[in-house]
Amino acid sequence: MALKIAGVELESRLFLGTARYPSPAVLQQAIAASGAQVVTVGLKRQLAAGGTPNDLKLIRDSGTRVLPNTAGCYTAREAINIAKMARELYETKWIKLEVLGDEYTLQPDPFETLAAARELVNDGFEVFPYCTDDLVLCQRLLDAGCRILMPWGAPIGSGQGIINPTALRTLRARLPGVPLVVDAGIGSPKDAVQAMELGFDAVLLNTAVAQADDPVGMARAFKLAVEAGRLGYESGIMAKQDMAVPSTPVTGRPFLL
């Protein structure tokens, strides 16, 4: 079943980040192997004037939709201005809103994120907020006009997987019908499977592929993991039991009457 995000139908539930790859060629091959239809990109302040780096050209040529981010921002004002620059340069109203509160944990600042989301939504942006797994924050972001939420699995780039599945399960249960994307901290394909089995609509990951020994192989592994996890979720996972339930329908013990 296709995913509908911000009015766009997507076959792939894997969103891929484009940073930290060993080379532009590997990035290009990884995007292709992942089947991703949405890739994240960024903006940086120039040290010297220059043209468009090769990486960006190959991203444009990959046929994917770009989702620019506001990485490096610590205040709503910074993020709002970066978002406007991204809209102009990338010609999209999609923005991954990332407003950080701590330089070690890189966790979102919930207050600045909410303030920025309000203003950006009012300015016509489609805001994809990177947020914590706090239910009330998530609800406030929806109230502010966000149509999608991107709660973290674990700190950015940490590869720790899903640290708080209970919190994510709560979000899924309390926000039915809202597109939910696990963003940040995914480490290996099992984490993507877990996110999809929780009923999340997609996963966004970068480091787990870019920093793998074989990013192209890992991109394919994640493609399969996201598909498997989603199919498992749609197929209705069996209920856990506290004790064993025999499978084979024998009658009693084999040699005792």
Partner 1 sequence: MTKTVTLNGEPRDIEPGATLADLIATIAEQPQALATAVNGEFVPRDARAQVQLNEGDAVFTFQPITGG
Residue 97 in tokens = 């809103």
For residue 103, state whether it binds partner 1 (rule: CB under 8 A). Answer: no
Q: Among this protein's residues, is 96 annotated catalytic? A: yes
Query: Nearest distance from residue 178's CB to partner 1, in Å?
Result: 23
Q: Contact between 68 and partner 1 (CB under 8 A)?
A: yes
Q: Which of 89, 142, 175, 224 touches partner 1 (CB under 8 A)?
A: 89
Q: Label the pairing between strands 3-5 and 202-205.
A: unpaired
Query: Does 21 participate in binding partner 1 (rule CB under 8 A)?
Result: yes
Which region, left, alpha or beta, applies to residue 203 given φ > 0 means left and ψ of -120 to 50 means alpha?
beta
Q: Which residue number, 51 or 176, has a Cβ lying nearer to partner 1?
A: 51
Backbone angles phi, psi at 99, to 5 degrees: -125, 115
Exposed/middle/buried for residue 26 (C-beta within 10 Å: 0-12, 13-18, 19+) = middle
Q: Of 8, 71, 5, 64, which is closest to residue 38 (Cα–Cα)?
A: 64
Query: For tokens 């089995």, what's the residue?
Result: 197
54: left (phi over 0), alpha (psi -120 to 50) or beta: alpha
Site membership for partner 1, residue 90 (CB under 8 A) = yes
| Nearest distance, CB of residue 171 and partner 1, angstroms | 22
84 or 169: CB nearest partner 1 = 84
Catalytic residue among 96, 190, 223, 240: 96
Q: Which of 3, 55, 135, 224 binds partner 1 (CB under 8 A)?
A: 55
**Cα gap 210→40, rounded to integer Å:** 13
Shortest spacing between CB 228 and partner 1, in angstroms: 24
Give the contact letters, 34-53, x = binds to partner 1 (CB under 8 A), - = no.
------xxxxxxxx-xxxxx
For residues 96-117, one letter each, b for 16 or more C-beta atoms within 10 angstroms of the residue's C-beta and e for the rest, the string is bbbbbeeeeebbbbbebbbbbb
Does residue 113 belong to the site contacting partner 1 (CB under 8 A)?
A: no
Residue of 108, 110, 153, 157 that binds partner 1 (CB under 8 A):
157
Q: Which spans of this chain sit near partner 1 (rule: CB under 8 A)?
A: 17-21, 27, 40-47, 49-53, 55-56, 59, 68-69, 71, 77-78, 81-82, 84-86, 88-90, 156-157, 206-207
